[in-house]
Amino acid sequence: MKRFMSVRKNIGIPTIFNLIGPLTNPVALDTQLLGVYRRDILPLLAQTLHQLGRKRALVINGAGHMDEGSLAGENHIALLEEGSVTSFTLNPDEVNLPVYDNDAIKGGNAKDNARILVDVLSGKHGAHRDTVLFNAGLGLFANGTAESIRDGIRVAEESIDSGAAMEKLERLTDYSKKVSSEVI
Amino acid sequence: MKSYLEKLMNRESLTLEEMKQAAATSFSEQTTESELASFLTALRVKGETPEEIAGLAEIIRSQSAQTTDIPIPLWIIAAQVVMVPTVSISAQQPHLSWPAQEPLSPNTATAASQVEREARMCWSTWAFPYPSLKNMSRRCLRKTILHFCLRQMYTPP
């Protein structure tokens, strides 16, 4: 592996190694939502996920070349479904979400980001919430739990507004506190 | 490796199995750096197929599973099955109580010996008593636990 890395460095052109980063997840997955910075390799990666045994997968390059779903405009998507790949684009208005500039969801330091997370899960409206809904919807659709991206967004909305998402966060916080106090 | 390289030079793609074979061979030091460089370049020039990318990804996955830096799942298995210590602290002195030890299954025994090996390494670099058990980084905590395990295995209460 080390020799491979030095060879990679020496030849200086992008190689197959630039493509496989997100594909080496140690957990064996059935379904996957995958964000990538490059737009030209979406179908290639979706086909690769098929080879790796994924039953469903959604590979996305967001508006502004983000490696996740973005509400700033057109998102490029390759969907793996029952062994075949279809490509399409998706605009925020197609899923009834407003358009926001990518700058509107900039994060900050750990404390800022924690506050943003709690705000979103408490039901605060705005660019952060809508982006979370969008990406959660994509994830639920990629997984097959939701029949469409719109459905996925609806499920995500319910999860936040009913307090279920916040409860999950609290359980996670409690668990991690419990574990660390047991260890110490 | 040569046959794969020739195939690529003829602009033919490798199958999933061929790619896995080629990747495994390359990782096992049987290939020179120039062969590796030619291999990667030839793939790039031909254009990588999903089978080739998947083949390499699978080999890397299986390799990294074997050479994980710190075997977290292992010590969890070991800590849960072999020994679940209750830790209490008084006056900055950690104290562990251990349940009675049961016969080990082969898997658990392997895990335990891994923990032991790693803990032995920690032993030499870590000094009691711990200055502060609060605000420890996760890595430090892991080291501490491993140290505890070792300490208890060699000097049971």
Give the tokens for residue B51.
């089978």
pLDDT of the residue at B114: 53
pLDDT of the residue at A181: 63
Q: Please give, rounded to a whole number of angstroms, the shortest distance from the CA of B20 to a CA of chain A.
A: 12
User: How much helix, strand and coil, in percent to the nearest 5, is found in chain A?
Assistant: 55, 15, 30
SS3 A168: helix
pTM to 2 decimals? 0.69
Mind listing the pLDDT tens digit for each residue in A129-170?
999 999 999 999 999 999 999 999 999 999 999 999 999 999
Q: Please give, rounded to a whole number of angstroms, the shortest distance from the CA of B35 to a CA of chain A.
A: 10
| Phi/psi at A36 (5° precision) | -135, 155
- With 90 as the cut, is the pLDDT of residue A87 above it? yes
Strand partners, A81: A56, A84
Of residues B78 and A183, more confidently modeled = A183
- With 60 as the cut, is the pLDDT of residue B23 above it? yes
- With 80 as the cut, is the pLDDT of residue A106 above it? yes
CA distance B37 to A4: 8
Contact B50 A47 (CB under 8 A): yes
pLDDT of the residue at A59: 97
Q: Render chain B in DSSP notation, one character per residue.
A: -HHHHHHHHTTPPPPHHHHHHHHHHHHTT-S-HHHHHHHHHHHHHH---HHHHHHHHHHHHHHHHHS-SS-HHHHHHIIIII---EEEEETTEEEEE-PPPPPPPHHHHHHHHHHHHHHHHHHHH--SSPS-STT--HHHHHHHHHHHHHHHHHS--
Average pLDDT over residues B102-116: 51
CA distance A20 to A8: 13
Q: What is the largest CA-CA distance in chain A?
A: 54
Given B33, B40, B89, which is nearest A15 (Cβ)?
Answer: B40
pLDDT of the residue at B144: 60
Of residues B75 and A174, more confidently modeled = A174
Percentage, residues of chain A above pLDDT 70: 95
Given B27, B55, B57, which is nearest A24 (Cβ)?
Answer: B57
Q: Could you tell me if B147 and B123 are in contact, meaning their C-beta atoms sit under 8 angstroms apart? A: yes
pLDDT of the residue at B29: 73
- With 50 as the cut, is the pLDDT of residue A58 above it? yes
User: Nearest residue of B to residue A10 by CA position?
Assistant: B37
Instruction: Identify residue A117 by its one-letter amino acid code.
Output: L
pLDDT band at A56 (very low <50, low <70, confident <90, very high): very high
Q: Please give, rounded to a whole number of angstroms, the shortest distance from the CA of A14 to a CA of chain B.
A: 8
- With 90 as the cut, is the pLDDT of residue B134 above it? no
pLDDT of the residue at B64: 63
Contact A26 B65 (CB under 8 A): yes
Contact B36 A48 (CB under 8 A): no
Mind listing the pLDDT tens digit for each residue in B49-74?
999 999 999 988 877 654 333 333 33
Mind listing the pLDDT tens digit for each residue in A5-50?
788 888 888 889 888 877 887 677 899 999 998 899 999 999 999 9
pLDDT of the residue at B62: 79
Percentage, residues of chain A above pLDDT 90: 73
Given A16, A20, A25, which is nearest B40 (Cβ)?
Answer: A16
